[in-house]
Structure 1
Amino acid sequence: MSRKPSSRSVAGKRLVKAQMPDGLMNARPVSYPVAHATITALQVYHNPERKPSGDGPWNDEADKVSWVDDETGLGCIMLRQTDGTISGYVGVGPAHPLFGYEADAVPVGVSGTVHGGVTYGRECEANRFERRAQGKPRQERYTVCHTTFVRTIQEYRTVRTTEDDFDHEDHWWFGFDTSHPGDLVPKARHDQRHQGDVYRDQGFVYMNCIALARKLRDLGGMTLDDTDEGSGPPLLPSPKDSQERGR
């Protein structure tokens, strides 16, 4: 008698039943209410160890939400940090004039769009499932990179590598944080808190994200139809060009 195989091979790859990567809550896009609007979230994660204790506006918030902004076509992420605050990020493609710029090189007209200014400018982070992960790979639930959702192959939901389960996006991410003076940091020591500090909830972070997305869209001369290609000459020299001139 032939034995029933425990797995199947499709296109030379073994497909096995598995949990969704690192606790992803949704296998397909879902509606997510935020700031008197409803976005189509492509990733929703809950990271209990980062959730502030006690009752608060964070009770009904996920800890990582990614989506594509309808107006600009740019990927956005809201991610809770280890101190309980939420940071926001917007990604641009290689054709964008600010692709490759670190946070302190972002023009004031762009940086000033968001709360506290742009404090983050980096390439996609390596995921620990990635075949060629460099640096310090992280779990998908904490990465600033993907805004896509898990693929379903035939009837099997699989987890093998980031390359298999997520459409890799060659993006450069600009972000901001909400742990500035006047911001309530939920996990800060009591002696570090001040009366009148305000918790910046997901509604606040979302509004800043879409404001930054629109500014980046306008700077790149892009529309929803040409976000991948961009248009017009760069408004600033690229970091690479600046380095070469300085030699």
Structure 2
Amino acid sequence: MVKFTGRNSKPTKRQIKLAEESDIPDGLQNVAPVSCPVAKTTITALQVYHSPERKPEGNGPWNREADKVAWVDEHTGFGCIMLRQTDGTLSGYVGVGPDHPLYGFDAAAVPLGISDQVHGGITYGKECEVNRTELRAKGKPRQERYTVCHTTRTRWVQDYENVQTTEDEFEHEELWWLGFDTNHAGDLIPGDPHHTPRKSDVYRDQSYVYEHCVALAKRLKQVSDRKSASRSQAAAHALPPPTKEER
């Protein structure tokens, strides 16, 4: 049975129809890390969300996809997120910590050699959305299913009336997120009524977005490692502290 969660939730007829037709219930799908097949591999997902209100109408690969998947890339240790937008497309994000050279960088300031690793270039550079409020919701906390924010463990309860933010039930890690969109020229935008698709338009599916997330994480790790190596080299060539006799 599908349960629409959230305070004063009043799902639309379309939301109800989409949820009833879906094999996946609304909301958080896992109460512990879960294996998630994607792009000819399997990742350990910390969060898997399904949001019928963002699922495009009609048949398409989106019907078989989750709407938010959060995981830690095993090769770089960076947090990654795939998140469906209101236009039905998927965006990808990689989070870096305060010690990373690009922490705090605006999307436009990210060097081209890094930005060009992903589809359409880096278009997102922001801090975690922990406890961010929605203006449309008159100051109410933004539901976790829509946030670009990393957590180190999954939620144990699906209760958005009492638990709506990462501060309530999560161990939060402060990260800076760099991300990309898939709603550029040549992309199929399935949930935008003002977008007239062409035959050549391509829907950038979950596998595609995953591959670009991994590529971005790898490039960001290279930048971090190079910075660490530079610091180590500088420390190795630093003059030793003066002895007592030299003081």
Which TM-score band (shorter chain)? 0.7 to 0.9
The structure-2 alpha-carbon separation of the partners of 1:115 and 1:191, relative to structure 1 and needing over 3 Å to count, comes to closer
Asked if 1:142 corresponds to 2:139, the answer is no
- CA-CA distance at 1:149 after TM superposition: 3.1
Structure 1 residues 46 and 191 mapped into 2: Cα distance closer, same or farther (>3 Å)? closer
TM-aligned CA deviation for residue 220 of structure 1: 0.8
How many percent of aligned residue pairs carry the same amino acid? 65
Asked if the contact 2:143/2:165 (under 8 Å) is kept, the reply is no
- Write the distance in 1 (CA, Å) between the matches of 2:164 and 2:200: 47
Highest RCO, 1 vs 2 (Cα 8 Å, sep ≥ 6): 1
Per-residue deviation, 1:231: 2.0
Alignment of 1:205-220 (within 5 A): 205-220=209-224
Partner of residue 231 from structure 1, selected from 215, 224, 228: 228
Which whole-Å CA distance do the structure 2 matches of 1:25 and 1:212 have between them?
26
Q: Which residue of 1 aligns with 2:244?
A: none
Task: Tell me if structure 2 keeps the 8 A contact 1:77–1:147.
Answer: no
State the partner residue of 1:123.
127
1:190 and 1:171 map into 2 onto residues whose CA distance is 34
**How far apart are residue 191 of structure 1 and its match?**
5.6
1:95 aligns with 2:99: yes
Q: Could you tell me which amino acid in structure 2 is paired with residue 68 of structure 1?
A: V
Q: Which amino acid aligns with 2:96?
A: V
- 1:38 aligns with 42
2:181 to 177, 180, 190: 177
1:198 aligned to 185, 202, 205, which one? 202
Q: What TM-score, normalized by structure 1, do the two folds share?
A: 0.74
Render the CA deviation track for 1:136-183: whole Å, top value 9, x for unaligned.
841100000024333559xxxx94852241111110000000000000
8 Å CA contact 2:30–2:47 kept in 1: the answer is yes
Q: Distance in 2 between matches of 1:161 and 1:185?
A: 29
Structure 1 residues 59, 110: CA separation in 2 closer, same or farther (over 3 Å shift)?
Answer: same
Aligned to 1:238: none
- Asked whether the 8 Å contact 1:88–1:205 carries over to 2, the reply is yes
Query: Structure 1 residues 219, 59: closer, same or farther in 2, change over 3 A?
Result: same
| SS in structure 1 at match of 2:228 | coil
Whole-Å separation in 2 of the counterparts to 1:217 and 1:192:
39
1:186 pairs with 187, 190, 200, which one?
A: 190
Residue type at the aligned position of 2:217:
A
1:221 aligned residue (213, 220, 225): 225
- Match 1:50 to one of 49, 54, 57: 54
What's the offset of the Cα at 1:194?
A: 1.8
Compared with structure 1, are the counterparts of its residues 172 and 190 closer, same or farther at alpha carbon in structure 2 (3 Å cutoff)?
closer
Instruction: Give the residue type in structure 2 aligned to 1:142.
Output: Y
Unpaired stretches in structure 2, ≥5 consecutive residues = 7-25, 134-138, 232-247
How large is the Cα RMSD of the aligned pairs?
A: 2.7
**2:82·2:91 contact (CA, 8 Å) conserved in 1?**
yes
3-state SS of 1:186 partner:
coil
1:104 paired residue number: 108
Deviations 1:200-224 (A, max 9, x none): 00000000000000000000117xx
Tell me how far apart the structure 2 counterparts of residues 191 and 144 of structure 1 sit (CA, whole Å): 25
Distance, in Å, in 1 between the alignment partners of 2:175 and 2:195 is: 39
Residues 39 and 211 in structure 2, CA contact (< 8 A), matched pair in contact too:
yes
Paired residue total: 200
